[in-house]
Amino acid sequence: MAAQTIDDLPTPVLILDRAVLRRNLKRMSDRLREAGIMLRPHLKTAKSVQVGRMAVEGHDGRITVSTLAEARYFVEGGFKDILYGVGIVPAKLPAITELRRKGVNLRVVTDNIAVARAIADAASKGDTFSVFIEIDSGAGRAGLPWPELPGLLDIARVLHEAPNVELAGVMTHAGHSYHESTGDGVAKVAEQERQAIVGAAEKLRAAGIPCPIVSGGSTPTAVHSKDFSGITEMRPGVYVFNDLDQEFIGSCGAGDLALSVLASVIGHYPHRNQMLVDAGALALSKDISAQEFQPKVGYGTIAGAPSKDMAVIECSQEHGFVASAGPMPYGNMPIGTRVRILPNHACITAAAYDRYYVVDSDIDGGRTVVDVYDRINGW
Amino acid sequence: MAAQTIDDLPTPVLILDRAVLRRNLKRMSDRLREAGIMLRPHLKTAKSVQVGRMAVEGHDGRITVSTLAEARYFVEGGFKDILYGVGIVPAKLPAITELRRKGVNLRVVTDNIAVARAIADAASKGDTFSVFIEIDSGAGRAGLPWPELPGLLDIARVLHEAPNVELAGVMTHAGHSYHESTGDGVAKVAEQERQAIVGAAEKLRAAGIPCPIVSGGSTPTAVHSKDFSGITEMRPGVYVFNDLDQEFIGSCGAGDLALSVLASVIGHYPHRNQMLVDAGALALSKDISAQEFQPKVGYGTIAGAPSKDMAVIECSQEHGFVASAGPMPYGNMPIGTRVRILPNHACITAAAYDRYYVVDSDIDGGRTVVDVYDRINGW
């Protein structure tokens, strides 16, 4: 039987270029290893054990996840040091305990004293926990806002003094780096990120509370930071695949996008100079992050299109509207033509699929399906 | 063992109120039956056999789907007359044939003469097909644009004259009704929809080509149409659940939203008067359709919130940012409090889940889980 090629796959389908993936992984791994920083990749983007195993090569295997479903899946996949990076609630503690009893150091995050007390209470019955305190380094999402860090010492003392609880350290996600589009702009955010978590760690240590791990995050700051002093680990996520948003932020180049959605042309509309493809809101997602920098990318651009600005400018559930400033090359793109759409935001696009069809552009331009990687979705 | 309640479910999770669902289904079913119109519900919203079976009660069981995965799933579920409502490509014809050989009338759609010829060619080898011609009644998506209807007779002749091919009729989706917010505005779109498909049918019949089915669509036009003359069936979809977008369009009332995402409060941020919940971009989707009418709904409003304008105003992958014009009632909503978020666009939100936890607000306010319905995702 001949090897399966991407022409054999029903559309829409998710394609992962292993050659680009490997380069992306190596670049980040090398950069952090050379800086003396541990890599704890955020596997919320890939949600795949195969990608996860490749991502931690040369590091000690620690990872980050964003859901309990991911935690269970990566425990099953043999990972032993897992940070569940979304603020824990007391009702989820039994699920954490269940996984920790399998010999996995599944760590949780909080920024709330009531939660810290609930953890201490659960631990008093004999269960162990490892907890990070989340710091808001400027993104305005979760965490104690820096530089005030209100309540930091109170939360830390509850955790530090509780039997069976390890205060693992402090962590932040510099999500505001996603709104910068120059290396200098991102570097400034990275320095703010560093000062926030290193400052929080120093505040703890000055109070006699140990803070072994100082954990930063975000792909842009991991790429553009000029100084990691005091940081012990970084948790970038989307760098494994990259996407149009990361390209415009400057975290990667145009050749570093590992993920694409393979779609078929399903309609020609010369009266409005458009085509339709069978990848719409569900296949691409309705995330428009990259439009902050380049509105014309819509919901994704067409890789290798005859016209460089060809993009999916609108989506309904299963229809993508393809437009271009120039005349649409209908003759070269008959109905059924397959196109690869570069995602606007890889983490959100990938979530519609339960597997990756893996190709390798270093082998045959990415035609043959060389592997299939699985993916965990849901919660 | 006590019955499971929604308090026992891990969050985020999708909740379906069966009482509201039944009222929504009955209202549409009654309206179309009284108008003498067949109902071919578009099950792209529910993607659930249990909902599908309830939706066709009192009609003849015909349905619409948007993916081949749905087609396979509903064939397995016993449905016999299925319209795959997204423009077919030749590469998908073998999958159609495979399902038709199971005794199911799986019908396809095209607006392209090359595709019509490919269908005729496939049929010449013995396979049978049932084909609709798609008409663009003004939405500017798929279909031959009305009133010009370029190429209609050519496509119709290819299909009509091909052995083993049934030209089933004409169909349209009046997607432009989604941009109206008054009954009169929607009624005007509905009349345009009617004229387009009835006009196309008459053009075919005048040329001696039979056109048995004249198929309209969209929940708003099904609700607000004042005249169905000449239409034989309607394909509304989102009416089964409704959502904030349909409420603002005027397709339903505020009490008719059957679907919600149950989430937990995971953080309090008094310095910016916000909370975080564990339902973000993946749990709610990044669809912002309803913001066309009411920007403040963000990615979904909080059902039964102390403050009526409380909504998820921003999302990252697993974090939803909850804001409100008034002061946030932290005391009444401690960490772990469960909230129900009404979706902006039900079809897209539901796609992140593989099942519905069914409650019934007529029984106990919707606390007990009375059933679990499954869902098919992917392609």
Q: Does B102 fall in a domain?
A: yes
Q: Does B192 fall in a domain?
A: yes
Task: Say how many domains are in chain A.
Answer: 2
Contacts of A277 in chain B (CB under 8 A): none
B377 to chain A: nearest residue by CA? A352
Query: Is the domain of B189 the same as that of B269?
Result: no
**Residue A307 has what pLDDT?**
81
Query: Is the domain of A146 the same as that of A286?
Result: no
Q: Give the minimum alpha-carbon distance from B260 to chain A in angstroms, rounded to a whole number.
A: 16
Whether the ω angle into residue B12 lies within 30 degrees of 0, i.e. cis, is yes
**Residue A20 has what pLDDT?**
98
CB contact under 8 A, B89 and A271: no
CB contact under 8 A, A150 and B271: yes
Query: Is the domain of A315 the same as that of A226?
Result: no
What's the half-sphere exposure (Cβ side, CA atoms, 13 Å) at A306? 13
**Residue B139 has what pLDDT?**
97
Q: Does A20 fall in a domain?
A: no
SS (H, E, C) chain B: CCCCEHHHCCCCEEEEEHHHHHHHHHHHHHHHHHCCCEECCECCCCCCHHHHHHHCCCCCCCEEECCHHHHHHHHHCCCCEEEECCCCCHHHHHHHHHHHCCCCEEEEEECCHHHHHHHHHHHHCCCCEEEEEEEECCCCCCCEECCCCCCHHHHHHHHHHCCCEEEEEEECCCHHHHHCCCHHHHHHHHHHHHHHHHHHHHHHHHCCCCCCEEEEECHHHHHHCCCCCCCCEEECCHHHCCCHHHHHHCCCCHHHCCEEEEEEEEEEEHHHCEEEECCCHHHHCCCCHHHHCCHHHCCEEECCCCCCCCEEEEEECCEEEEECCCCCCHHHCCCCCEEEEEECCHHHHHCCCCEEEEECHHHHCCCECCEEEECCCCC
ipTM: 0.97
Query: Is the domain of B174 the same as that of B45?
Result: yes
Query: Is the domain of B268 the same as that of B351?
Result: yes
Q: Is A67 on the interface with B (CB under 8 A)?
A: yes
Chosen domain end from B241, B270, B294: B241
Query: How many CB pairs below 8 Å do chains A and B form together?
Result: 144
The CA angle B225-A266-B228, to the nearest 5 degrees, is 15
Query: Is the domain of B225 the same as that of B301?
Result: no
Q: Does A345 fall in a domain?
A: yes
Mutate which of A269, A314, A353 to test chain B, going by most B C-beta atoms within 10 A? A269
**Residue B15 has what pLDDT?**
98
Q: Does A22 fall in a domain?
A: no
Q: Is A68 on the interface with B (CB under 8 A)?
A: yes
Q: Does B24 fall in a domain?
A: no
Q: Is A111 on the interface with B (CB under 8 A)?
A: yes
Mutate which of A68, A218, A266, A299 to test chain B, going by most B C-beta atoms within 10 A? A266
Of B272, B318, B321, the CB nearest to A67: B318
Chosen domain end from B241, B275, B303: B241
**Residue B3 has what pLDDT?**
74
**Residue B1 has what pLDDT?**
53
CB contact under 8 A, B334 and A114: yes
Threshold 0.80, pTM exceeds:
yes
Q: Give the minimum alpha-carbon distance from B6 to chain A in angstroms, rounded to a whole number.
A: 13
The CA angle A131-A136-A139, to the nearest 5 degrees, is 135
Q: Is A286 on the interface with B (CB under 8 A)?
A: yes
Query: Is the domain of A267 the same as that of A199?
Result: no
pLDDT below 50 — which residues of chain A? none
Query: Is the domain of A310 the same as that of A350?
Result: yes
* CATH number of the structural domain spanning residue B261: 2.40.37.20
Chosen domain end from A240, A266, A286: A240
B67 to chain A: nearest residue by CA? A318
Range(s) of the domain holding residue A146: 35-240
pLDDT tens string A207-246 = 999 999 999 999 999 999 999 999 999 999 999 999 999 9
Q: Give the minimum alpha-carbon distance from A189 to chain B in angstroms, rounded to a whole number.
A: 18
CB contact under 8 A, B86 and A278: yes
* CATH number of the structural domain spanning residue B77: 3.20.20.10
- Please state the separation of Cα B349 from the chain's center in Å: 11
Q: Is A90 on the interface with B (CB under 8 A)?
A: yes
Contacts of B141 in chain A (CB under 8 A): 276, 316, 319, 321
Query: Is the domain of B95 the same as that of B193?
Result: yes
| Alpha-carbon gap, residue A191 to A217, rounded angstroms | 12
Three-class SS of residue A69?
helix
Q: Does B27 fall in a domain?
A: no
Q: Give the minimum alpha-carbon distance from A27 to chain B in angstroms, rounded to a whole number.
A: 24
Q: Is A317 on the interface with B (CB under 8 A)?
A: yes
DSSP states along A227-272: --TT--EEE--GGGT--HHHHHHTSS-GGG--EEEEEEEEEEEGGG
Q: Is A337 on the interface with B (CB under 8 A)?
A: no
pLDDT below 70 — which residues of chain B? 1-2
Q: Is A282 on the interface with B (CB under 8 A)?
A: yes
Query: Is the domain of A48 the same as that of A133?
Result: yes
**Residue A2 has what pLDDT?**
65
Query: Is the domain of B287 the same as that of B142?
Result: no
Query: Is the domain of A180 the same as that of A285?
Result: no
Pairing between β-strand A129-136 and β-strand A144-145 as defined by DSSP bridges: parallel
Q: Helices in A35-101 by DSSP H: which ranges? A: 49-55, 68-76, 93-100
| Alpha-carbon gap, residue B352 to B230, rounded angstroms | 38
Q: Does B109 fall in a domain?
A: yes
Chain A segment 235-264 residues within 8 A of B by beta carbon are: 264
Q: Give the minimum alpha-carbon distance from A89 to chain B in angstroms, rounded to a whole number.
A: 5
